Structure 1
Amino acid sequence: MKRFLATGIVLMLVLSAVPFAASAQAPAEVWVGNESMGELNFPSIQEAVDAVAEGGTVYVAAGEYVEQVLINKDLTLIGEEGAIIKAPAAPEKYTVPEDTKTWEPVIFAFGGTMPDNHVSGGGQINVTIAGFTIDGDGRQPANRSCGVFLRNVSGAVIENTIDNLNLTKETFGIVVYGSGNVLIQANSVSGFGRGGIVVGSRGDFPKPYAVVFDNYVRTVTHASWAQNGIQIGWGATGQIIGNTVSGHVWADEGWGASGILIPGSSNILVAGNEVSNNDYGVAVAGYGNYGGHYPASNIVIRDNLLYGNTYSGVCLQGDVSDTLIEGNTIHSNANGIDVYDYDPGGWTGGGVPVNNTASGNKIYNNEKGIVVWPLLEANQPGPAGTTFTAAGNWWGSAAEPADQVEGDVVYCPWALDEGFTAFATRRVVDDASAPIDLHQEVNYIEVDGDELDSDDVLVFYGDGMRLDFPVALLPAGSVEIVIAKGSGPAPQGFKLYNLYSLSMSADGQAVTDFAGSFTLTFWYDPDEVENPDNLAIYWFDGQQWIAQASAVDTSHNRVTAAIDHFSDFALMEADDADPGAGGDELPKTGTFILWLLPAGLAVLVLGFLMLRHKITVW
């Protein structure tokens, strides 16, 4: 059963307003809990904040401070090691225009004014909060609470530990609303009931930009809500980089929790994160009827490690477009990547995922690699653009990933190794009028000779190779031709210039010999060849390499042979001093044979011998 993403909508609340006017003689630096500083020392953080000059710094000594801190001016708030701010038993409640609920933050920094505990208006302040343990004391708020709440703030929240916020209510670690540019770095956020780090709110209000970098966000147990670890959404923008996020799960059958969630935003980078053991790893969702139209587009999900997630490593839901999933390692999830519209007539408002791609990822050990579901439950084809392009990924082995994808997925070409040094592809040929380019190291070609004219000739072009194969030589019905390029160091006494393996199967049986001949041509670089007379095409019979009768055309720098069977074929030049040069058969030495099998055909063994099952590409 598909689950809705719990979006953890953190609606902006206002902080109580107190006239924080500072005198002209206000100190630029003040201390809390440090009696040696005399008149510059204050018994509470709030008193120090009120007293410090605009743009000043408040230093807080080690100790536990049970209070709610309000900031409405530029300042830096620094906690020494062991400085703990603990939520009071009955904190003030605040509202903001962006939310209908009340908030009870431990630290509340805001731009604007606050009559009667309602924040409103514009204005932006610059605030840095660093070095604290912020303890929610496990208390239950009337509506919502959080460790740090920023509205219309630019600045930074750095190296804080936020915990014990209550798991049964809508509690949050760090919340950012309104205008501003915020760095959230190296914080540890846990023990929350709804959201760890949340940036952006719904509605026609200014949207913040945030860099969420190198944070540790984890929940330790199941909560009463679907928790989300890091969320940038509802029009906010930013970057989520280098974080560790885990443990966000929920038992409800209709919703799912996310490690990283991008709801209704565009132009966000999610990179270098480790996201594990959540319901969804990284989720991107676009909505059409969720209090407004909130599509998601141009999201880049790059170089993340995503594993152990209950439903999928990456999930694209609803009105999501132009997402790039690139360079990630996605393993040991139920699905590596999920793409679907779970509610066509509801929240998504008719928007389905379109023009999304995945490339250069390592996708393996998942129950399914990629599943595309747009309108699948209604048994209808998706609109234009719903085809998911997943070319150039590695699927855990050289094997064709046909059984790892479901739905409208294009996975060709696929990587043959996790270093992405060689690729394979599959294509269906139903027209012999145009040459067939062999773009990859391993090429699967499906041909039905009964659908072609018997006088036609299939022409294949590889890297310095051409194969002219008469249709009349094909077995009846559908056949599979595999053409794979190999490489390797030259054996003693020879130079290797090119190497290709040719194979064919019909009805699961290998086809090696033909009633007539086809033409195989190799081109060479005359600047590399010492003596063209010593060039020949060789084929491997399973034990030795045999020289094929070949014609060398020095005017066109090519060598051609008429051949009546499929095998491995190489263009080689024998040294003038080699006793086998110019003969019909190479010396039958173990050195030569053993060299070319393990080294020269390494790619072919991976890409050709192991990949034999036919598939249907959706």
Structure 2
Amino acid sequence: NWSGSSGTTRWVNDDGMLFIPPGNGCNNPGYQHIQDAVKDANPGDRINVCPGTYAEQVTVGMGKDNITLKSVGLWKAVIKAPTLMMFDAGDTRYSIVRVSYSNNVTIVGFTISGPGPGPCNSLHYGVRVDNGASANILGNHIIHIRDEPFGGCGNGLAVVVGRLVAASAQILGNVIEDYQKNGPTLRVIGHGPNSLESQNGIQVSDGATGTVRHNFVSQNISGGGLFGGIGVLFFSAGQVVSEHNTATANDYGVYSNQTAGGTSVTESRVRGSTFDGIVIDGSNYHQVSHNASDHNSGPGVSLYDEADNNSIVRNQVQNNDFGGILLDLGSSNTVSTNHVKSNGHDPIDDITDGIRINTGSGNTVTGNHLKNNITHDCHDETLTLNTWSDNGVGTSYPAGLCGYDDDDGEDVNTFGWDASYPWYLSFSDAADLDFVTGYSQFDLSSLLQLLPSIRISATRPRPSPGQ
């Protein structure tokens, strides 16, 4: 718990007054630099950082377990990349804040800001957690984690957990904007369309397992890059639980590629993707349920590359330009009790249907409610290799594939926002791009009641879609 520090409280203020450690307030601080306070800190100490701009790199290393660094005033203490960056110990990367070899370190309420001092590889990470460390990254504003000018050198990750050696973190309640590559957090605002880097919002990869909850991910768009930007990406990951997330205006909303069975994507809202909404690509035994996927340019939900034994259950899929639910290549999947309507606004080559199977066998499609989809509500290119039953439908191919008229209502559960988190009620589905202004007024102490929320135990990522 971030508030559980029982050691010495140390005070930092950059205003140039007399410093007598550990200090007892902003008017009587013990330190002028944050790193000096960290150096003196013992396990369990709390470091309060007074409003001001601190142009320094901060490393919390071995022997600093259970310490808390807290801004006095939300986002009032700014940790800024200095004009002369020093390599992180042990490699040739640059971080603004690093937690390494220490456990349960908490960083609360800061502004952590770039940009780096040069045009390429001048700043790699806003916050880095590695070498077996664990950290709570809470309520920070992490901004400009990029080169200056913005470049295409592959650096610029807002928060990275693991990378070379396993680590873990709770990443909650942060606002991240204007980053160059990846930015996992509660609220992720990409740099917007760019032809230099394909951005990913939240990424769990290379054997990592994670729980990803209550995130809002937006504007991860390549705008001409080789790969699309992805809102929430699981790439060769271990089992991941993803729920109550909202992904809007990304190239892809949620994308799972070759990720372990038992992974679930539930109770989320995906909308306005350049391509597909929710993608299961070469992954097996996933559950995709109680999601709303709408107004995407590709299919609302799609399975590719031998995605087998997945369950697509009780989703609301509507107004997607390239079809509702697409099984392009996969077998033994279950598609059940989904509401699929008004998909296929771009009927190219007769492949925009409500539920469509291109290839694969042993799939079961049952109990779905389909209406007003182009070209068909139900479509099976294999003709006879899959089982279709009890689907309420208007049109089908082959004829008679789906059997009875059904006007069952839209009785799907609510999605995305969780009513148990009161500040979410301030935002509607349309409030996708003006979140930061409202967020700054949130009560940080109530936000911290969400712990634990997102926990990632990460190893080094491999190249992935969007990397």
User: TM class, shorter-chain normalised?
Assistant: 0.5 to 0.7
Q: Are 1:331 and 2:302 counterparts?
A: no
Alignment of 1:293-308 (within 5 A): 295-308=259-272
Structural mapping, 1:386-465, within 5 Å: 386-396=331-341, 403-408=354-359, 410-415=364-369, 440=390
Task: State which of 316, 325, 336 in structure 2 corresponds to 1:370.
Answer: 325
Supply the AA of the counterpart residue of 1:191.
Answer: D
Larger radius of gyration: 1
1:171 equivalent in structure 2: 156
Residue identity opposite 2:193 in structure 1:
H
CA distance in 1, matches of 2:265, 2:42: 42
Letter in 1 for 2:72: E
What does the per-residue CA deviation read over 1:258-316, in whole Å, with 9 as the maximum and x for residues that have no partner? 00000111221111111011111001112xxxxxxxx5332100011000001111112
Q: CA deviation at 1:480?
A: 9.1
**What's 1:159 paired with?**
139
Is 2:318–2:343's contact at 8 Å kept on the other side of the alignment? no
- Give the drift of 1:395: 0.7
Question: 1:338–1:372: 8 Å Cα contact kept in structure 2?
Answer: yes
CA distance in structure 1 between the partners assigned to 2:271 and 2:53 by the alignment: 38
For 1:441 and 1:315, how far apart are their aligned partners in 2?
23
**Cα separation, partners in 2 of 1:480 and 1:246, compared to 1, 3 Å:** closer
Identify the residue that residue 314 of structure 2 maps to in structure 1: 360
Aligned to 1:194: 181
Give the direction of change, closer, same or farther, for the CA distance of 1:485–1:234 in structure 2 (3 Å limit): closer
Indicate whether 1:76 and 2:68 are aligned: yes
Partner Cα separation in structure 1 for residue 370 and residue 324 of structure 2: 16
Distance 1:411 1:44, change over 3 A: same
TM-score, scaled to structure 2: 0.68
Q: What do residues 461-513 of structure 1 show as CA deviations (whole Å, max 9, x unaligned)?
A: xxxxxxxxxxxxxxxxx9899667999xxxxxxxxxxxxxxxxxxxxxxxxxx
Q: Which amino acid aligns with 2:244?
A: G
List per-residue Cα deviations over 1:395-444 (Å, max 9, x = no partner).
13799x95552524653321369xxxxxx9999xxxxxxxxxx9859699
Deviation at 1:153, TM superposition (A): 1.8
- Give percent identity, aligned residues only: 25
Distance 2:407 2:232 in 1: 42
1:315–1:108 CA distance, 2 compared to 1 (3 A): same
Match among 109, 115, 132 for residue 110 of structure 2: 132
Task: State the match for 1:264 in structure 2.
Answer: 236
Helix, strand or coil for the counterpart of 2:38?
Answer: helix
Query: Taking CA–CA contacts closer than 8 Å with sequence separation of 6 or more, which of the two structures ends up with the larger relative contact order?
Result: 2
Are residues 1:149 and 2:104 paired?
Answer: no
Question: Structure 1 residue 107 and structure 2 residue 61: aligned?
Answer: no
2:79 matched to 1:85? Answer: yes
- Residue 30 (structure 1) aligned to one of 2, 7, 10: 10
Runs of 5+ unmatched residues, structure 2: 1-6, 24-29, 345-351, 372-376, 381-387, 409-467
What's the C-alpha RMSD, in Å, of the aligned pairs?
A: 3.5
In 1, Cα distance between equivalents of 2:197 and 2:296: 22
- Alignment pair present for 1:230 and 2:202: yes
Aligned equivalent of 1:217, options 183, 188, 192: 188
Letter in 1 for 2:93: W
The CA deviation at 1:77 is 0.6
Match of 1:248 in 2: 220
CA positional deviation for 1:179 = 3.9
> What TM-score does the superposition give when structure 1 sets the normalisation length?
0.52
The unaligned stretches of length 5 or more in structure 1 are 1-26, 112-123, 198-211, 287-294, 342-351, 375-384, 418-423, 428-437, 449-477, 488-618
* Structure (1/2) with the larger strand percentage: 1
Equivalences for 1:515-554 in 2 at 5 Å?
A: none
Deviations 1:358-396 (A, max 9, x none): 11000010021123333xxxxxxxxxx635432210013
Q: Is the 8 A contact 1:426 1:443 kept in 2?
A: no
